[in-house]
Chains A and B, each alone.
Chain A
Amino acid sequence: MTVIRSNSSNLRMGRRSLLQSLGAAAVGISFAGLAGCGKKEESAGGGKIAPTGEEPKLNFYNWDTYIGETTLGDFKGASGIDVNMTLFASNDELFAKLRAGNPGYDVIVPSNDFVERMVAADMLVALDQAAIPNVKNIDASFMDVAYDPGRKYSMPYTWLTLGIGYRKSKVKAKPDSWKVLFDSDEYKGRIAVLSEAGDMFRLYGKYLGKSVNSLTPADVKSIEAMMVKQKPFIKAFHEDNGQDLLLKGEVDLVLEYNGDIAQIMAEDDDIDFVLPKEGSQLNSDTLCIPKGAPHPKNAHAFINYLLDAEVDKKITETILYPTPNAAAKALMPDDYKNNPVIFPPADQLAKCEYATYRPDMQPLYEEAFTRVRAS
């Protein structure tokens, strides 16, 4: 994975093509006259106005380590817009914070089920597709998704899947079934699973051969019993920091996202990742504009910029997550494209599903999981 390094010759090329695409974006949103010239900010009056016609500012609310090292600076160079990036640590926090009103964020990065939830709560702005021409770079399979048909509110940024990260020297055989985590004492005291109730119940459903979205209250009951039975063999419910537990040797098997495990595999040869044969749950983090955003036009320009092939290539080199951007993926080296951890084989992915937002089931998951923990 350390091989992934950009070479500077196509970096320059990239910058120029970015400028062009940004210009195109500006045509889409603002008056055509502003778009053509190189130093847009000055032409538009004292450096106070971005090519989009708004003040050159943008508040980006993102996850940590989820952007290229120079992306924001490059965007400023290309558009004159100053991006102020602040970070959130979970979708729940993002939602809780925005639900009473938007304190000033322009672009946010919720996951698929939260896109649904936020659309249901009327918290997202419908995107102006014409302002985001780079949407052409997105792989067709990510365009018409159930959680946002026709990509009206969100643009895909990354996608990821849950699986089992493990220490090769400590397992007898490849742990390619959820059984080792959910229904067996084989690795007693050496496993950690997620602390998110919804994900846990859906994956148990997958282990039982059900769809992640078809669980019924009766299923929740029976899964709860299985969880109580399995609990003594589990060392910890981790807060999405399972990769650390695995790297430190606190546990030997962990339920985690493939991107997180891919990051630590670069540091420790003894670690591997497997997508269980029963299938798993897919997630996708997306770029959205919340209602009440102070700079919606800048936000469109920024989203379009992030979807540019060269830009997303550089982001992907840093974060090593699977990208839904086909044009960017094509630019990546082979050891990324052919990495089975980042891009699991198609036949395995076929068994994975996106979780949908189910307001009726979420409280049941939560309460059952509270019971499991209290038992």
Chain B
Amino acid sequence: MALLGRRRPVAPLEYTRKTWMRLWIAGVMLFLYAPLIVLMVFSFNDSKRNVVWKGFTLKYYEKALNNEGLIEALVNSLTIAALATVFSVILGAMAGLMLWRFRFPFKGSVEGALSLPIIVPEICMGVAMLIFFAKIDWPVGLPWPLNLSAITIAHITFCFPFVALVVRSRMASFNREQEEAAKDLGAGEWQTFRDVLLPHMKPGLVAGALLAFTLSLDDFVITFFTSGPDTVTFPVKVYSMVRFSVTPEVNAASTILIILTIALTALALKLQGVKAIADAH
């Protein structure tokens, strides 16, 4: 398909096949990836510091993979991010729909309150969470994964308003007549939601989920204030490890993470592609 496509003339909307667009994308990708490539290259550097190239080694991979603390932190981070994403998408979609659809008293205040978690400086929210969980005596020392509950709650809190924002802006384009048509044809509230609203919302949900996952996976400040001795996440671990500069060990762990992500996505796309072809037949 791609091979054949090269010979066709460029259609007006095929922006991805225009040279200036391709150059632009290439430039952005270079900007985004140059630092990452440097990071990956230096994960093979035989020096404690990421400063000068001293020779090739794989020992930092060995070290990273044997660093139980780092692996544990990574598992914690992924668990929290996954949980936070699921809950944020649900809560965020609900909030987005509510704001898009209904007129209700104090709507302005509710809207403001919902955008607060986006606005509040991270450190302020971190401290608020620290005090909150200390004041209500949130149980600590629970078995995994219950001990991650405080961090997960905090993450959902700052992630779901982002989802709500995206979902709402997506819904703005929804043609209400479709919904009414569905209802006229006898579909119930739930059926209309499932078959008409949800498909329209989907790109917003995907974008929201990606945002939530990214925010949760990368959050340091709020996590720092809600974590305990047994609940260290990857960013918290890394942050404390780089006091004396980033070691190749951290680079190695990041490289593994990047490659893993690409591999998993490729696999998912491949499976989906096979399925799509199967469905078509």
Q: Could you tell me which A residues sit within 8 Å of B by CB distance?
A: 59, 61, 63-65, 84-90, 93, 96-97, 100-101, 103-105, 240-241, 243-244, 247-248, 260, 263-264, 267, 294
Contact = CB atoms under 8 A, between A and B. Distances in A.
A264 B240 CA distance: 19
15 contacts: A59-B229, A63-B243, A64-B240, A64-B243, A86-B229, A86-B232, A87-B240, A89-B240, A89-B243, A90-B243, A96-B225, A104-B228, A241-B243, A247-B49, A267-B48
Given A100-B134, A267-B49, A260 B140 contact: no
A84 B241 contact: no
Contacts of A263: 244
Interface in B2-31: none
Interface of B: 47-49, 51-52, 69, 127, 130-131, 134-135, 140-141, 224-225, 227-230, 232, 237, 239-245
A97 B224 contact: yes
B131 A105 contact: no
Contacts of A101: 134
Contact of B245 (A86, A100, A105, A244): A244
Contact of B140 (A61, A84, A104, A247): A104
Nearest 6 Cβ contacts at the A-B interface:
A87-B240, A59-B229, A103-B228, A100-B134, A101-B134, A244-B245
A118 B243 CA distance: 23
Contacts of A264: 49
A87 B245 contact: no
B232 A241 contact: no
Contacts of B243: 63-65, 89-90, 240-241
A260 B245 CA distance: 11
A294 B244 contact: no
B51 A248 contact: yes
Given A89-B240, A100-B134, A247 B229 contact: no
A87 B230 contact: no
A339 B12 CA distance: 72
B239 A89 contact: yes
Given A103-B227, A104-B228, 14 more contacts: A64-B242, A84-B230, A86-B240, A89-B239, A90-B243, A97-B130, A97-B224, A100-B130, A100-B131, A100-B134, A241-B244, A243-B244, A247-B49, A247-B52
Given A59-B229, A104-B230, A105-B229, A87 B51 contact: no
Contacts of A88: 240
Contacts of A260: 244
Nearest to A249: B51
Nearest to A59: B229
A248 B245 CA distance: 11
A105 B231 CA distance: 12
A85 B69 CA distance: 9
Contacts of B130: 96-97, 100
B134 A97 contact: no
B240 A103 contact: no
B69 A241 contact: no
A147 to B, nearest CB: 23
A87 B229 contact: no
A104 to B, nearest CB: 5
A63 B240 CA distance: 7
Contacts of B245: 241, 243-244
Given A59-B229, A104-B140, A247 B51 contact: yes
A84 B240 CA distance: 15
A43 B89 CA distance: 53
B229 A104 contact: yes
Nearest to B227: A103
Interface centre among B48, B49, B242, B243 (most CB of A within 10 A): B243
B48 to A, nearest CB: 8
Given A244-B51, A267-B49, A84 B127 contact: no
Contact of A93 (B51, B131, B224): B224
B244 A64 contact: yes
Contacts of A96: 127, 130, 225
A88 B245 CA distance: 14
Contacts of A89: 239-240, 243
Given A103-B228, A104-B229, A267-B47, A87 B244 contact: no
Contacts of B224: 93, 97
A240 to B, nearest CB: 7
A371 to B, nearest CB: 21
A90 B131 CA distance: 20
A258 B130 CA distance: 35
Contacts of B48: 267
Contacts of A93: 224
Contacts of B229: 59, 61, 84, 86, 103-105
A294 B225 CA distance: 19
Nearest to B226: A103
Contacts of B230: 59, 84, 104
Nearest to A247: B51
Nearest to A85: B69
Contacts of A267: 47-49
A294 B51 contact: no
A63 B228 CA distance: 15
Nearest to A294: B141
Contacts of B69: 85-86
Contacts of A97: 130, 224-225
B242 to A, nearest CB: 8
Contacts of A59: 229-230
Nearest to B141: A104
B215 to A, nearest CB: 21
A264 to B, nearest CB: 8
A2 B46 CA distance: 16
Contacts of A103: 140, 227-229
A90 B127 CA distance: 16
